[in-house]
Amino acid sequence: MKHTLKLFGIIALAAIMGFTMTACNNDGDGGTSPFDGSWAKGADTFVFSGSNVIYKYGGTGWIRGVFTSTASTIIFTFTEMTDNDGSSWSDIPPESEVSGSGNYTLSGNTLTLSNFHGEADSFNGTWTKQ
């Protein structure tokens, strides 16, 4: 009887550990970002993955970097740009910086960006999750 209880205890512990590992994600931040994925507006696309972002025009990578967000503000810091075919990346010269901050609302599959100015003005508008 003692061995049977010990066996059931080991089985129960193994089952709990198995269910825990199955339910746990491995992205390192405790969950996925609501931004993760591709968002399109016309020929433009943002691709978010964790804190990384690529801004594509017409399907070809153009600039990439990182972003941060608060409850209503999003800040992009782009550090690299690509040639016309998107095959090689290089650092963005400081005088050509295309970074900025603005406001956002996120509702289901709709991301609305506003109050971006200068080079980042094209980010303004409604983006749809792909």
Summarize pLDDT for 76-91 with one digit per residue, the tens.
999 998 866 667 888 9
The pTM score is: 0.71
Alpha helix positions (H), the chain: 2-23
Dihedral over Cα of 109, 107, 45, 31: its sign: negative
Residue 18, in any domain of the structure: no
Residue 11, in any domain of the structure: no
Kindly report, residue by residue over 111-120, the tens digit of the pLDDT. Answer: 999 999 887 8
Residue 21, in any domain of the structure: no
Range(s) of the domain holding residue 118: 37-129
66 pLDDT more than 70: yes
94 pLDDT more than 80: no
Q: Which amino acid is at 64?
A: R
55 pLDDT more than 50: yes
Residue 22, in any domain of the structure: no
Token look-up 């550990």 returns 17
How many domains is the chain built from? 1
